[in-house]
Structure 1
């Protein structure tokens, strides 16, 4: 995948770059909505899960908590070079939301009476890979990971056999559906001047990575998926549908109008 030195096509062509004012306003308003969702979670409620199910969610939450815990410094430093202060401010708020997801998974682990993990091979491999990439390709990697994980968060929100875990799933899924749209809007800008043939090749590479990422999630989180009534095989198929939809939205017509925030609730 060839990395373009600057994602801001407007800087090179003299056209006006994509405005991220709506996104900045959206992220600034999210904390109040987050508090409303979290107020409905009975954090003091006792988990009544049987031991195998409890252990399934412990293993799953430990891995997600670790994956969401990064500080985003390298990503933000790359974004700062693009010369769009509004986008950078919005991205900083998105990174804070991801860090809050890590805190939510920790609260879930507290509810399940379990500790956090210090390290896991999947998180280490993802960290090494993304640090070696330029901004556009790193955002593409985040789009892949978030789009394939969305099915897990939705299943957690709708069918987890514990009300606290369902509340955590709803809280995170509500954010992630807009995080995906935010990445799509920025990646469209990044691919605006990429020829169709190049975008086709990139789409093929993304599909291979997405298939692997979905398979890792299906294996690592299989017991938790089953506890939510979703087989790993069915999850994988749904994850790939979600990924293809996101990738098509970026690569098929990068000159399309920005999506903007979807709004509150899980769609």
Structure 2
């Protein structure tokens, strides 16, 4: 995919308004996390979860410079601002992971091969393909956060549920970008791009299942079951993002951020 094929930039004001309104909701939800609670988990499980959170913290800590630079070439300030707010939400996730690591007495990572590979791949690609990578990672990771949201540790549970409320809408944000980006792309090209995305999604789910399997098991989810559920999430999002069927999704977030929605199970709805 080339830079010429990057998403159209019309209509992203609704996402700007959503992300800006999210600031107050984040403050409410962050205040609910019981940072000083005592964990009932054994030391081995806590160590596995801490190692897993280290890798996610590293992945979420980027400043989005490359993504924002590519977007600026579209010369649309509204789209640029929506992306900036999205990146800011991802950085908040990194801050939550770091706070959890402090509680575990664990230092953040400075590098990891999975993050290095992902960053290198993103830097080689155009805007639309980078957005597709975000869609893959965020849909696949939702089942991971859903598992941590059921963890017996109250802080891990609170952080995971807090992040999951964002990720549900971030998936819609990526879908909206890709739908606009593929608006004028011939169907054969969309099918080819979707096939490539499937291959990457399978690889991403496999890496997560292997690399974070111990943390998943500590929260009651087998890596094999995670793998199947993660790809099912992506399978729901793929035809919408790549315009492979006639089903249309309403543009924008699924709901205004007036409710805390901590009860969301993390499933990507059929109409994302």
- For this structure pair, what is the TM-score category when the shorter chain's length is used for normalisation? over 0.9
2-structure distance, mates of 1:254, 1:69: 37
- Displacement of 1:8 after TM fit? 4.8
1-structure distance, mates of 2:33, 2:99: 11
CA contact (8 A) 1:189 1:255 kept: no
Residue in 1 aligned with 2:198? 207
Structure 1 residues without counterparts, runs of 5 or longer = 10-16
CA contact (8 A) 1:192 1:254 kept: no
Residue in 2 aligned with 1:49? 41
TM-score relative to the length of structure 2: 0.91
Q: What is the correspondence of 1:109-258 to structure 2 with a 5 Å cutoff?
A: 109-157=101-149, 159-251=150-242, 252-253=244-245, 256=248, 258=250
Residue in 2 aligned with 1:5? 4
User: How many corresponding residue pairs?
Assistant: 258
CA contact (8 A) 1:189 1:254 kept: no
- Decide whether aligned partners of structure 1 residues 173 and 8 sit closer, same or farther in structure 2, where only a CA change above 3 A counts: closer
Deviation per CA, 1:62-106: give whole Å up to 9, x if none: 000001000101100111111221111011011001011011001
- Displacement of 1:217 after TM fit? 0.4
The CA RMSD measured in Å over matched residues stands at 1.6
**3-state SS of the aligned residue for 1:109?**
helix
Alignment of 1:107 with 2:106, yes or no, is no
TM-score relative to the length of structure 1: 0.92
CA contact (8 A) 1:47 1:112 kept: no
2-structure distance, mates of 1:154, 1:260: 23
Structure 2 residues without counterparts, runs of 5 or longer = 266-272
Moved over 6 A (4+): none
Alignment of 1:74 with 2:66, yes or no, is yes
